[in-house]
Structure 1
């Protein structure tokens, strides 16, 4: 087999790059870590090709990426155990129609990725390759270095660790926009009754501040408690800063990004500085560093079903938002809230 030229290698890599990133992101729940794994796999393949051409680049690259992800997940388990508060995946922002909906979006949602945290690294790899990417057990066995029969057993074990229906049922195309609009307007207007009407009786809310931003350390359940939390946070945040809110797709689901439009109120900043000094051992006394204008301050993803919001995931940890580009002043659809 003839060696591929650098141009041919680049073309091959670009052909599989989307698949490789999708596998890595589903495995790791981190945009930046997924990109690193994909790039590392490409470099290793490039070096290997210099010695002997790889017969099946797709299988080789998928194997490299999956095994790197398994290794990263194993090394990250100790970090997850010491993580302050709830851990949520990094939000994946899409530039398509904010309310475009398809069944594939369900497997990308923050809610679904959070469920996958119940699985061990090898269970997660086998489950995703089989369930999401439709690999047969022989292919999976080659990728993860197990026998096909062992992979079947791992898959069976993984399914036992997940709910019977881990993904919310699909909703008609127009419904996510309707649900999102009702939810957002109720939040913006401080409308408790309007918010209660759109929240499911089984609603759960997760917030991830990572010890760097004040957030709830445990899930909140029930429409009344969730609504009071959302409206209470709004009453605290909006008087102290101006936020530009951009509706967008977050992990394939309706959501929004909040960008800092105008800095913190000076009086609040002084109070925050006193709070840091008084609570120097407190891990999440609001933001531990100042945000720059146009920087993403939060991402909120909704999981909708049956014309209701079933789950709300709020990412506040700035380390999980740094891959989101600063807001373009020419962006359309921006809604200004706050001061």
Structure 2
């Protein structure tokens, strides 16, 4: 193979790298695993007779999807033994993603959590169909199943996600305002201000993975949620931690910054200016996506 051929092959892979990472991340909810999958896809591509590959994009998406399916099946065992609530790894995203509502929604923490409840095949079909717009025939070829089977999986996955995803989502400007008010209330240690921002049915999840202090179970209700957050922020070891606005998984959220290092990510769901759900990711082993 000539140097020109090598560059052309590399260019073909690099052209689709962002797509491949996006597919793997939505499949796995893990930045680290998604990056590993893209690297494995590159190694596979490097070993392949590219002259026999008519459509590089289709080949690479099929490779990443099947690698992700294999990884997802083994990851389920690990997650069953996980300490405390398991949350997807947070990912810093561009503010521009908010302009593409469907794209932002499919990478949001709320939807990634719902995708965790699908079977691996349903998740692959949903991702390829609803996010990237593949036809049923194309998906059947990618995952090696019949078109009839793919249509059935797509139907089940769509119904499942629609039934469990948030029914109302705040506009980015409203979400940003709620995040800023929450930051100010927590920074000031103002219990009443925090309570005023929380909906009566608010739920909070915190993912420390048993590595750092976090609530081992979801917290329900404004009083429990507010007192837990303020209690954690009042601990001596947390003194000096800042909350900074950031776009996380397609929506405005807050980064927890300690000594100039991003040490956690907080995302929200809000309705009519009040927070209905909070997800705090602070397991240091799952923060690669906010160090970018």
Instruction: Report whether the alignment pairs 1:212 with 2:178.
Output: no
Alignment match of 2:291 (pick from 318, 325, 328) = 325
* Range 158-167 or range 143-152, more displaced: 158-167
Q: Which has the larger radius of gyration?
A: 1
Gaps of 5+ in 2: none
- CA offset at residue 29 of structure 1? 0.7
Aligned to 1:107: 106
User: Given that residues 246 and 258 in structure 1 are in contact (C-alpha distance below 8 angstroms), is that contact kept between their aligned partners in structure 2?
Assistant: yes
Aligned to 1:337: none
State how far apart, in whole Å, the 1-side matches of 2:99 and 2:273 are. Answer: 14
Number of aligned pairs?
Answer: 289
User: Given that residues 95 and 250 in structure 2 are in contact (C-alpha distance below 8 angstroms), is that contact kept between their aligned partners in structure 1?
Assistant: no
State how far apart, in whole Å, the 1-side matches of 2:95 and 2:58 are. Answer: 29
State how far apart, in whole Å, the 1-side matches of 2:249 and 2:199 are. Answer: 20
- CA offset at residue 223 of structure 1? 2.0
Alignment of 1:164-179 (within 5 A): 164=163, 166-179=165-178
Aligned to 1:66: 65
Alignment match of 1:247 (pick from 222, 234, 245) = 245
- CA offset at residue 303 of structure 1? 2.4
* Range 176-185 or range 22-31, more displaced: 176-185
User: Given that residues 101 and 253 in structure 1 are in contact (C-alpha distance below 8 angstroms), is that contact kept between their aligned partners in structure 2?
Assistant: no
Inter-CA distance 108–141: structure 2 relative to 1 (3 Å threshold): same
- CA offset at residue 324 of structure 1? 3.7
- CA offset at residue 82 of structure 1? 0.7
Aligned to 1:272: none
Inter-CA distance 209–78: structure 2 relative to 1 (3 Å threshold): same
- CA offset at residue 209 of structure 1? 0.7
Query: Per residue, is there more helix in 1 or in 2?
Result: 2
State how far apart, in whole Å, the 1-side matches of 2:94 and 2:172 are. Answer: 18
- CA offset at residue 102 of structure 1? 4.4
Q: What secondary structure does 1:6 align onto?
A: helix
State how far apart, in whole Å, the 2-side matches of 1:109 and 1:168 are. Answer: 14
- What is the TM-score when the length of structure 2 is the normalising length? 0.91
Instruction: Report whether the alignment pairs 1:296 with 2:246.
Output: no
Cα deviation code 1:268-302 (max 9, x no counterpart): xxxxxxxxxxxxxxxxxxxxxxxxxx333221112
Aligned to 2:49: 49
Cα deviation code 1:19-41 (max 9, x no counterpart): 11111000011111101111211
State how far apart, in whole Å, the 2-side matches of 1:133 and 1:80 are. Answer: 27
Aligned to 2:87: 88
- CA offset at residue 245 of structure 1? 3.1
Alignment match of 1:309 (pick from 275, 281, 287) = 275
Gaps of 5+ in 1: 262-293, 327-339
Aligned to 2:119: 120
State how far apart, in whole Å, the 1-side matches of 2:38 and 2:283 are. Answer: 24
* Range 9-18 or range 41-50, more displaced: 41-50
Aligned to 1:281: none
CA RMSD across the alignment: 2.3
- CA offset at residue 164 of structure 1? 2.1
User: Given that residues 94 and 250 in structure 2 are in contact (C-alpha distance below 8 angstroms), is that contact kept between their aligned partners in structure 1?
Assistant: no
Q: What secondary structure does 2:223 align onto?
A: helix
Aligned to 1:198: 197
